[in-house]
Each structure stands twice: as structure tokens, then as C-alpha cells.
Amino acid sequence: MRPTLAAKWVAVVAGTAIVIALPFVVSQFRAVQLATVAVYFIAIVGLDILTGYSGQISLGHGALMAVGGYTTGILMTHHGWPDLATIPVAALVGGAVGVAVGIPALRLHGLYLALATFGVAVALPTILKKFDHFTGGSTGLSLFSHLTGHGVGVTILGHRLTNNDWLYALTWSIAIPLFLLAWWLVSSAFGRSIRAVRDNELAAAASGVNRATYKVAAFGVSAAYAGVAGALYAVVSTFVNPDTFPITLSLYLLVGAVVGGYGSIWGAALGALLIQFLDDIVDVLPGIDPKQAGPRTFFFGAVLVVVMIVLPLLTRLTNRVYTRS
């Protein structure tokens, strides 16, 4: 039962309406949490394009977010740029890094690409700390004084927004257009080509699809999304530091991408909500002490494991991933 095109449009319109309405009914704190959800959402959509649609597994998506986050951080603290202006730059820089990574990644298949990207994600914090002249080292960069609204509030078109509402508006007003862009991409010839390459490289090549171009392009697009997500993450956290992009971020993004529909962008919101709110859900379970980190991590992993086992058995939406053995 694949959703029809009409159903997809309904979902998008309804989703957008909800996003617009939410801040009027939820608390301030929820608003800023949902802003973080938007950040994860953008990152997951990007990861979906790379891993779900183009079949290149990446365990280093958090590292690509770091590229965007630090681009923003460096431009803001070393060069005094306003935060908004850094976002397109973060996208471009992210995209460029993605292309640069995508080229050698062509030679690495499946498992080996997973290993290599895993390595990048694990080693990245130490590399960021090494180049402390740019990155502020382990202390990181504080963005607070350069943020729009200085963390207090913003006036738009005569309306005064609190800081949290501003962050919510900023992140979602970028997230939704990026989602639409992604939808367009995966439904277009580009999307068909990358899926063709994913499913059967030989057949794709025989049909005239240049696998190298499309795989690298997918990496670039995915990394551009991650760059934007990283930039926004920095803005929401007001602070950027090598430890804010640890290996667990990359792994959780993968969890989000998979749980939210096995690499389909239509589940990205669910995945993003999961990453942000699973802690809160776990805390409510009987016998769990919210101060303990163990149970939260355990259930996070358990959710992924269960989804990986159960999902293929249940739904046939995931057929596309099983077209080859």
C-alpha cells in the first residue's frame, strides 16, 4: 500500500499547517525542542538521500553536520557574520565536502564505506581539537553575542517573537522548503537515476547512467543538507564544540533515518521526533530513574534493533531495499 501522490500532498499540507499552528499551543520549552527536531529532520532527510535512495551507507553524518556547524561558528566568531548569512555558506561548504568525500567513496562499497565513515565520525572530535586556531579547540566557539536577537527575542513585521519561537520559526521555515526540494529531487530524473544505481549498478551503467556522477552528486546533496542542519544546530545550541558532534550523533541520525521508514524521506519527521523525545518517553516508564543514562541508551538501541527485525516482516513499503540479495 504505497501512498499515492495525492496522499503525499495531503500529508505535506497538513504537516505544514501543524507546524505553523504548534507554537501557539505548546510551551516555550517545547518550541525550542521542536526547533531541534527540525534540525534533526533536515539532517535525516539528507541522510535518507544518501543511504536510502543512493544506497551509500554513511555512519559519519554527524561529521558532515560538524562541517556546517563550524562553518557557521567560524564565520560568526572570527569574521563577525550574522547567523542567517552563514547558513547558505554552510550548505555550500557542506556540499563541497560531500563531493570531496564522495569521490574516494566511489571505490568503497557497502561495508568498507561504513567502516571508513565510522572512522571519520570517531576521529573527527580530536581533529577539530587539533586545529584549535580555527575551531577554538576543545573550548569551542560561543556564538551567543552574534545571534539574531541576541538570544532574547526578535521583532518581525511588527510582531515580537521570543527567542524560542524565533528559533522554531527559523528552523522550520528552512526545514519545510528543504523537504519539498528533497521530494522533488527524489521524484525527478535525478532520484530515479540514483535509485537505479543503488539497485543494480551494472544495469544502470548499461542504461547509460553515469554511476560516478550520480553517487557523488548524492553525497554532495546529502552533505549540503547536513551542513545546513549543522549550522542551525549551532545557532540553536548557541555554542559549538568538538564534543557536540560525537559518534553517537551520527549513530542516532542513522537510527532516525531507518526507524522513520527505512531511508524514506517520508519518515524523517518521525525519526527526528524519536531522537529528540525518546528520552522523555523512556523517563516515563516505571522504574526508570531519569538521572540514569543507561536505560535511555538501551531503549534507543532496542528500538532500532526491533525496527530492523520487525519492519521488514510487517510492511511491504520497504520492498525497494530488498530488490537484490
Partner 1 sequence: MTEFLQQVVSGLASGGIYGSLALAVVLIYRSTGVVNFAQGEMATLSAFVCWTFMDHGVAFWPAFALTLVLSFFGGVAVETVFVRPVQGAPTLAIVILTIGLLIMVNGLTTWIWGGAAKPFDGPFSTEPIDVGGVRFSKQDLGVIVVSLIVIALMWLLFSRTKLGLGLRAAAVNPIESRLVGVRVAWMLALGWGLAAVLGAVAGVMAAPSLFLDPNMMQTVLLYAFAAAVLGGMDSPVGAVVGGLLLGVLLNLVGTYIDWVGGQLRLATALAVILVVLLVRPAGLFGRQAVQRV
Partner 2 sequence: MKKLAALIVLLACAPVALASSSATPGVSAKEVVVGSSGPLSGEAAAAAGVLRGAEAYFKYVNGRGGVNGRKITFKYLDDAYDPSKTVENVRQLIQQDQVFALFGVVGTNSNLAIRDFTNAAKVPVVFSQSGATTFGKDYVKYPYTIGYLPPYAEEAEIYAKHILATNPKKAKIAVLYQSDDYGKDLLAGLRRGLGSKNAELLVKAVGYDPTTSDVQSQVADLKASGANTFMVFAFGKFAIQAVVYANKLGWKPSLYINDVASATAIMQLMPQSTVQGAISIAFGKDPATPKWANDPGTKLAGQIIKKYVPGGNPKDGFLIAGMASAYSFADALKKAGKNLTREGLMKAVTNMNEPANPFLLPGIKVHTTPKFRFPVTQVSLQRWQKGHWVLFGGLQSARP
Interaction site with partner 1 (CB under 8 A): 51, 55, 57, 59, 104, 107-108, 110-112, 114-116, 118-120, 122-123, 126-127, 129-130, 202, 247-248, 251, 254-255, 258, 292-305, 307-309, 312-313, 321-322, 324-325
Pick from 53, 166, 219, 233 the residue near partner 2 by CB under 8 A: 233
Provide the CB-side half-sphere exposure for 169 (13 A, CA).
16
Rounded to the nearest 10°, the torsion over CA 79, 82, 88, 90 is 50
187 scored as a contact of partner 2 (CB under 8 A): no
118 binds partner 2 (CB under 8 A): no
- Using the rule CB under 8 A, is 97 a contact of partner 2? no
Q: Does 177 bind partner 2 (CB under 8 A)?
A: no
Q: What CA–CA distance (Å, rounded) separates 44 from 254? A: 8
Q: Which three cell numbers stand for residue 137?
A: 579547540
Q: Which three cell numbers stand for residue 59?
A: 555512519
Instruction: List, in order, residues 6 or more apart from 137 with CB less than 8 Å away.
Output: 129, 242
Q: In whole angstroms, give the CA distance from residue 325 to residue 323.
A: 7
State yes or no: residue 253 binds partner 2 (CB under 8 A). Answer: no
Q: Does residue 138 contact residue 2 with C-beta atoms inside 8 Å?
A: no
Minimal distance, residue 249 CB to partner 2, in Å: 9
- Report the distance separating Cα 42 and Cα 58, nearest Å: 16
Does the footprint of partner 2 cover residue 293 (CB under 8 A)? yes
Shortest approach of partner 1 to residue 91 CB, angstroms? 25
Interface positions with partner 2 (CB under 8 A): 3, 7, 11, 14-15, 18-19, 22, 25-30, 32, 36, 125-126, 129, 137-140, 142, 144-145, 150-152, 164, 233, 237-239, 241, 243-244, 246, 260-261, 266-270, 273, 277, 290-294, 297
